A and B are shown apart, each in its own frame.
Chain A
Amino acid sequence: MSGYEPIRKVISGNYAAAYAARDARVQVVAAYPITPQTSIIEKIAEFIANGEADIQYVPVESEHSAMAACIGASATGARAFTATSAQGLALMHEMLHWASGARLPIVMVDVNRAMAPPWSVWDDQTDSLAQRDTGWMQFYAENNQEVYDGVLMAFKVAEQVNLPAMVVESAFILSHTYDVVEMIPQKLVDEFLPPREPLYDLADFSRPFSVGALGTPDDYYEFRYKIARAMEDAVKVIRDVGKEFGERFGRDYGSMIELYRTEDADFVFLGLGSLMGTVKQAVDVLREEGYRVGAAKVRWFRPFPKRELYELAKTVDGIAVLDRNYSFGMEGILFTETKAALYGTDAHPLVRNYIVGLGGRDFTVKDIRNVASDMMKAMEGGETSEEILWYHLKRG
């Protein structure tokens, strides 16, 4: 158990990401500036300049090239890292598929930021959730500590299943907000995360090979199945790595959904990322007011924690899904996933969708109380809003 002395620092979420990349001993970083990601790569550049890290830093000319360079580096056996946000992530989209298709365990931090237009630099989850089908694992951090821990775990998981992983943090709310982060001494990180053993290595010339050659209809299908299987295998690896992390460092991530005061809850709030910090606080307030509510934070969105969600859904009457994102023509993205995961099971809670905080709009304890009362009304069968509530909408 965790009998070690952590290195405590008051740092931003972005610095937590940079320190984690350093401690993970990444070998190649290729990145392009974008607000609010930039302080990650600035910090990494500083590590290199100060001799604190031995990293090949490739200052590419676009995010598309950032991912392409990481792909080249990872295929050549290096541990590769990048970071981006919103427009940059969208520009990378093509290469996100390439990274997973080539089975490369690249780790990337995405700072959740709203997609333009209109221009916005503030928090919104649509950028990362729109990459749902690219074959990347996705970990959503609630706070700066989870950004740091998430990057270290992401590398370990990614390198075991040979799929890339994204660690997602909120624009400004985490990226530029300072908080205490307990960092792990290098020696202990090294024990947790040994050097990478690549699936293949372009620098190995003993038996020439090619990666990514044309796959005819006779073969392509099986390549996709292997990725699907790897993503399923990742569920167990994520739980094992999360548990191991807890045993080594005292913060357990063994469950893909973190539950907060859900034991006797009538309903729970379900959501991703920093939003859930506020929700936990609101749960405490609401509990004092007599509501029996809890919070369920989805840590890993891909692979999706179907089993944990089902187990939770069996014990509650309602789930209020808080989506800081939206899929036009449908509904909040986590809402869709939640219903899909529960369909056909014997868990039938009332599931409602609250579209909150898009483009960085504040979502406070007061707002969560309003959601709670709407939810209670719906569960009692009373007059309520529509199933998908654009909660903040300025009407009239």
Chain B
Amino acid sequence: MEVPDEIKKRLTLPFEEHFYAGHTACQGCGASLGLRYVLKAYGRKTIVVIPACCSTIIAGAWPYSTLDANLFHTAFETTGAVISGVEAALKARGIKVKGEDGVMVVGWAGDGGTADIGLQALSGFIERGHDAVYIMYDNEAYMNTGIQRSSSTPYGAWTTNTPGGKRHFLERRHKKKVIDIVIAHRIPYAATASDAYPEDFLRKLKKAQKTPGPSFIQLFAPCPTGWRSPTDKSIELARLAVQTAYFPLFEYENGRYRINMPSTKKDPKPIEEFLKLQGRFKYMTKEDVETLQSWVLAEWERLKKLAEVFG
């Protein structure tokens, strides 16, 4: 399609598309949107490695692929290891990796595949310093297997194995701060991002591309199916997660923390605004909400302190 230059000039995201229509994601899926942005940033010269997760299905069943880039499917826990091997092979063959004109090696894994079963391989990948980008799309549960809790599921959430019920059996552990574990490796570049702020996400993807060594981005990717939320509220939820400081946007670069707009703008909105749009939180008592709220604010203060001291 021909688009006049004056229109292209006004676009804040690359016009070119490497993630095609016809994929099999649910309506309102934040993961498919995220992958689309990734490919907008990196283009066709990208090797995408996808473990068991929603995107396994979203990418299409054989012989179809919705990606206009090379895609290697792998086992659940192996993303970090496979991208390490891909990068090693490119180097062995003298092919440029990362940077403006290099081949991009991207691991695209869910929260379960990253924070739980894939944590060891992720750690190995970062520690060894491979030139690749690991993106965790965080929809806060095992959505592909039918909404089971992961260590990235928030306090108070209903999932199919934290089902509420008479005994009030909900998720009772706070969301694991995977990015803190990542930063503990002193990774060259790590960031959080959100589907609601694509320009910020694209900027971070570009920075990850330019930074030598491993990069990690945790993308907040709403899942209406698993969150029991209206399919037209995904972006709003992704925005509220940032505005409530539940999922603040920040970067960690060469030892320095930087909180990004709009997380720096104002005081966080009450967490209820984020919760009330989602059926998964409907079993929470007032005390549950208070527990979550105080955790969110404590974590937010902690992050601000880090940005202040190591800014």
Number of A-B contacts (CB under 8 A): 169
Shortest C-beta distance, A61 to chain B (Å), equals: 4
Contact yes or no, A75 B69, CB < 8 A: no
Contact yes or no, A72 B75, CB < 8 A: no
Contact yes or no, B89 A209, CB < 8 A: no
Q: Using a CB-CB cutoff of 8 Å, which residues 96-136 of chain A contact chain B?
A: 98, 102
Residues of A within 8 A of B60 (CB): 210, 213-214
How many Å lie between the Cα of A233 and that of B95 in the bound state?
A: 33
Partner of B90, one of A61, A62, A76: A76
Give the interface residue-count category, chain B: 35 or more
Is the contact region of chain B dominated by helix, strand, or loop, or is it mixed?
Answer: mixed
Partner of A28, one of B56, B81, B83, B89: B89
Partner of A205, one of B69, B75, B78, B83: B69
Q: Residue of A at shortest CB range from B61?
A: A214
In the complex, whether A20 has a CB less than 8 A from a CB of chain B is: no
Q: Per-residue 0/1 for B41-64: is the Cβ within 8 Å of any A Cβ (1 yes, 0 no)?
A: 000110101000000110111111
Q: Using a CB-CB cutoff of 8 Å, which residues 195-251 of chain B contact chain A?
A: none
Flag the segment in A52-60, A177-185, A234-242 that touches B.
Answer: A52-60
Contact yes or no, B124 A78, CB < 8 A: no
Contact yes or no, B47 A202, CB < 8 A: yes
Q: Per-residue 0/1 for B78-101: is the Cβ within 8 Å of any A Cβ (1 yes, 0 no)?
A: 101111111111111101000000
Contact yes or no, A64 B81, CB < 8 A: yes
Residues of A within 8 A of B63 (CB): 213, 219
How many Å lie between the Cα of A266 and that of B44 in the bound state?
A: 66
In the complex, whether A77 has a CB less than 8 A from a CB of chain B is: yes
Partner of A214, one of B57, B75, B92, B123: B57
In the complex, whether B254 has a CB less than 8 A from a CB of chain A is: no
Q: A28-B88, A64-B78, A70-B85 are in contact. List 10 more A-B contacts (CB 8 A).
A: A62-B124, A73-B88, A74-B85, A75-B89, A204-B70, A208-B65, A210-B70, A210-B71, A210-B73, A215-B61
Q: Which residues of A contact B (CB under 8 A)?
A: 27-28, 30, 54-56, 58-62, 64-66, 68-78, 80, 94-95, 98, 102, 202-205, 208-216, 219
29 A-B pairs with CB atoms under 8 Å apart are A30-B81, A56-B88, A56-B91, A59-B128, A60-B84, A61-B120, A61-B123, A62-B120, A64-B78, A65-B78, A65-B124, A66-B81, A68-B81, A71-B78, A72-B49, A72-B83, A72-B86, A77-B93, A80-B85, A95-B78, A203-B93, A205-B69, A208-B69, A212-B72, A213-B56, A213-B59, A214-B61, A215-B61, A216-B61
